[in-house]
Copies of this chain bind each other. A is one copy, B any other.
């Protein structure tokens, strides 16, 4: 008797956020010795801390700070990897105002220093997740600063990005795309 093969697409309906999917993927990469990638902690400005006797310090007042860098970084085959993850409910384009100027400057610096830099963009309504190289993003962002289009069309995303297939243990298998992208771009192009 054949056991029915589980359908990978059911995973996209579980209500998992992109961040949860990436965290799971990173755990898998770590456990299998493929790469060490961590989510950076949320930056918080701490204002007041209580130190109750015999128990842990309690933060009583703090504020969320705007992230000056990206969500994730780490090491893959000795190289520095840095990326941001974003979800949108839009169906036809990705709005560029999802990125802050200092995030864009950060990504530009990472490329300048030879790091691997990209964004993972999920169109949640379309159930489609893309690996999108930071150099393409920077091109669109600079163009928008000069009065150009304020979003990346789905068409550009399909042309310049790479769809990340949903898989069992690796929900967002971006290393696979890094390997592919660097081999087809001769290893010199900064993803």
List chain A positions with a Cβ less than 8 A from chain B: 30, 33, 35-36, 38, 40-44, 46, 56-65, 69, 73-82, 106, 109-110, 112-115
Contact = CB atoms under 8 A, between A and B. Distances in A.
A83 to B, nearest CB: 13
Contacts of A30: 109
12 contacts: A33-B112, A35-B113, A36-B106, A36-B110, A42-B46, A44-B44, A44-B62, A56-B63, A58-B62, A58-B63, A59-B63, A60-B61
A75 to B, nearest CB: 4
A107 B115 CA distance: 20
A56 B62 contact: no
Nearest to A75: B80
Contact of A76 (B40, B44, B106, B113): B113
Contacts of A80: 74-75, 78-81
